[in-house]
Amino acid sequence: MNNPISERIDAFCRQRRVQASSLIVTLFGDAVLPRGGRVWLGSLIRLLEPVQLSERLVRTSVFRLVKDGWLSAETVGRRANYALTPWGRRRFEEASSQIYATRAPVWDRRWRMMLVVGELSSRQREQLRRTLFWKGFGLIGPNCFIHPGVQLGEVIDALSAEGLQNLLPQLVPMMAADVQSTLAASDADLVARAWDLSALGQSYAEFVSLYAPIFAYTRDTSVADEQAFLLRMLLIHDYRRLLLRDPELPDALLPKDWSGRQARLLCKELYKRLEVASERHLDHILRLADGAPLVRDSALAGRFPEQDILTTAVP
């Protein structure tokens, strides 16, 4: 029987272009953040060597992440620890609420709106659009962004953190109750106008097709510690990249056959199945620059908190 875990790892290694920086961010958020958030560069090099990321590429990618504000460096003799910056930590912690959630949020039947008042330059409008899209907002007109669940206070904080404080006087945050009327646009109409979910749904379906055979394989086959870690890293990396495009709509606003539900359950169940073996590998490899091991905190235990039985993710 073919080993679909090895096939997945080999397929990743055969990619012509690997986004090493993005993979390192995934690794920091998933494995390093629950261990204090700091790690020796040599440990990263050892962890990523099996997926054919060379020492030079890892070093170059880490230096780029420092330059881009994701990581900070701490010199210890001739070695260096790297840690997520407060900004990088905040970005991943925001993503974590989606990555490690068991189900989509429940809707309170109120729409959050961000109205633009006055003129913005094309550069300002693009900066605003990019930041609000990161927070999951959709656009239903040239000056109206909407979302069914985001916390508006957090959005204002995010805009400030992105250096867009000067735009705040031209933004009006509002809450609108959902009104059921034959004359008003339905919730489905608003969703269809604000978000194009078709491409995202197809991507989720492809994720399920990729990882469902692996999940089936692990039912009756034990996974070596290193393979469990590598698969866990790729699983979360692939899933995180999908969530970057996901507006995190409540279940009530999603199609009945939404493939994201299957992807969420599959990710959760496979992650839990890999967790013990992958943690052993991380405990063995992860060190600080002075040789001290990284100690897990309570953050790991809070991931995927509910133990639902997977019934729909595997064909």
Question: Tell me: the pLDDT tens digits for 167-224?
Answer: 999 999 999 876 554 444 688 888 999 999 999 999 999 999 999 999 999 998 999 9
Q: What is the widest separation between alpha-carbon atoms in the chain?
A: 70
Task: Fold for 1-103+198-315, please state it.
Answer: Arc Repressor Mutant, subunit A (1.10.10)
Coil/strand/helix, residue 58: helix
Q: Which of 310, 306, 302, 235 is nearest to 97 (CA)?
A: 302
- What's the pLDDT score for residue 190? 87
- What's the pLDDT score for residue 297? 85
The second-level CATH assignment, the architecture, of 110-177 is 2-Layer Sandwich (3.30)
10-residue mean pLDDT profile of the chain (315 residues): values are 90 87 95 94 97 96 96 95 91 83 85 92 93 92 92 90 91 81 67 93 97 95 96 97 92 92 95 96 97 87 64 45
- What's the pLDDT score for residue 118? 87
What is the percentage of the chain residues whose pLDDT exceeds 90? 73
Pinpoint the residues of the chain covered by CATH 1.10.10.10: 1-103+198-315
- What's the pLDDT score for residue 306? 63
Pinpoint the residues of the chain covered by CATH 3.30.70.240: 110-177
- What's the pLDDT score for residue 40? 98
Q: Which of 207, 228, 200, 220 is nearest to 284 (CA)?
A: 228
- What's the pLDDT score for residue 178? 63
